[in-house]
Structure 1
Amino acid sequence: MTLRRALAVSAAALLALTTAACGQDDGQEPLSDDALVIYSGRNENLVKGILDQLEERTGIDVQVRYGTSSELAAQLLEEGEGTKADLFFSQDAGALGAVAKAGRLETLPAATLDRVQEGFADDGQKWVATSARARVIAYDPAQAPEVTEMTTVDAVLDPKYKGRIGFAPTNASFQTFVTALRVTKGEDGAREWLEKFKANEPKAFDNNILVLDAVDSGQVALGLVNHYYWYERVAEKGASGVKVEIHFLNADDPGALVNVAGVGVIAGSPQKDAALKAVDFLLSAEGQRYFADETAEYPVVPGIESTKHDLVPLEQLKGSSVDLNQLDSLDQTLALLDEVGLT
């Protein structure tokens, strides 16, 4: 996706300027007035299983429209009160924040919000997390064993890593990390960080899987990714078949950002009761274990553990203290990346 296209479909940019790029005349199945309509910014391959279970367990007729979180947030803002969506299932907190800021999400019951760990529900009670994922530094122990001592992502700016860092500039997780940089360091501080990062000649890859591949093969010494890519690789190949390791910075640092996927009920939805049942199902033990096992993400409800992945307990992680609602300024992040030359 080009920068201009990404800017055109980002939720924050479209608060002021909407586009018909993801309108309903796009060849998709017409949306029903009787079904629970979910706009899912989560990939179908990741969440179809749990949404099928939702339909089976609750008896609710579910219809899902898939797209990127920013595109669907933009569509919700464009459609306004005329939307047929009842529930917004977002890949990140920024898109939820943009829709909430526009007054398009219902207030969720306290009983629902209280089910998740502290910090994983909107202070304004408009959305709740369904799973969490942490930024980590993937590293080759043979090339960069010192990564285990890092407590800040600033450490990757050391000139000794010139040409030895992998990243995925078009990936939403990297862009959200840069947004966290902007929120934490300010615009000038984030620009300075990115300029130093660029001066280190990082190697760009199309996605985080390729970044992990590059570290695992020794092509680069370290890479910036999310934790679950590594856990999925270990589950697939076994620990002995994976050379790359990951390090949690475990500090109040943008490089330790713990972002979330989450849901919000659309304001004025005629299917509000069904939507709330869906939210509660995603926060049920069955729903939370699905994320822990099938996507290697962190459950946000206390007491749920993965039966498949040896995840570091979420409560043991110290992540960035940035307000996740502040991650909704994707347009400014993309403009800064373009300005610095990291797109």
Structure 2
Amino acid sequence: MSEQVLDKISKQAQEYYKNTPVIILGSGASAAFGMSGMWMLAQHLIKNIKVDDLSESEQSSWSIFCQLLNDGVDLETALHDVHLSPVLTNRVVSSTWELLAPEDVKVFNRSFNEPTLFPLGKLLKHMFRSTAKELNIITPNYDRLAEYACEQEGIHHYDGFSHGYKGHLVKKNHLSCLRQVNIWKVHGSLGWFTNNNKVIMSLGIMDSIPSGLNPLIVTPGIEKYRSTHKEPYKTIIHESDDVMDKATSYLCVGFGFNDDHIQTKLVNRCANDDAAVIIITHKLTDAAKEFILNRNAERYLAIESSSNDGKSIIYSSLIKEAIEVDGDYWSLNGFLNFIM
């Protein structure tokens, strides 16, 4: 029975894949490489941000914020419910960078001696065996793992900036290239900074935040919606929206359907325009399950890990009920077996 189902699922995956899906990378895609998630970030902020030099009202708001986190409230909700001053917000941004940047560099250093470290690179290389000249990745992640995956396979990538030691904002056709992967980072990147004159730049691998610069990453919560009306986010989100509107299929890797900037477009394209979606992740979030099980998408394939080691649970618009099968098809490496 499972062999018949796997054959059907494999054909379904290939059918969606042949339409050159837009790849959506969520936090789960980075967690597979040891990058800290929201809970680890919350603990880091509580431990490392000092407020002794701030006003009483700022100290009070920070105390309330930390208490919410200690009570089990998720980071995004806490940042939405408690108004933090610009000074505190900047400290949250800097502390976030200081946690994630070394983790990002650690993965980069691994890649020197692990030439097949990034299955995403293998996927992109395979996708370029078609007539496609341009591929698109959309991600709320700050890390540069997608960029490293491109470089693993010698693929040119564009993230809104020119290449070089100090990149500046340019259009995606700034360079003429036979094949290009566009990486739309809707919440910023560990390599993006702005100086005191609000000049935006992209820098290479840094071991600390350069003096006089501020990281350009958007924190969760209400600040996310304020900041994304500014550059470079405004242009990046506009471009990613166009990409989402034109696509007929999507491949979500570790995406939890908890980010409004991406989720709203994705849900509506699948519900109203018959777009197809593939979701692979360690564990489907409640939001992801609601999306597929309430039949908001007519054409979907979702795969998560099973509680039984070495097995996966498959949800498909082609089968009535979820089924457990042998194999780790929920991981990107495992999923590649369906399409290669």
Range into which the TM-score falls when normalised by the shorter chain: under 0.3
- The structure with the greater share of residues assigned to strand is 2
Answer 1 or 2: higher relative contact order, Cα 8 Å, separation at least 6: 1
Q: TM-score by structure 1 length?
A: 0.28
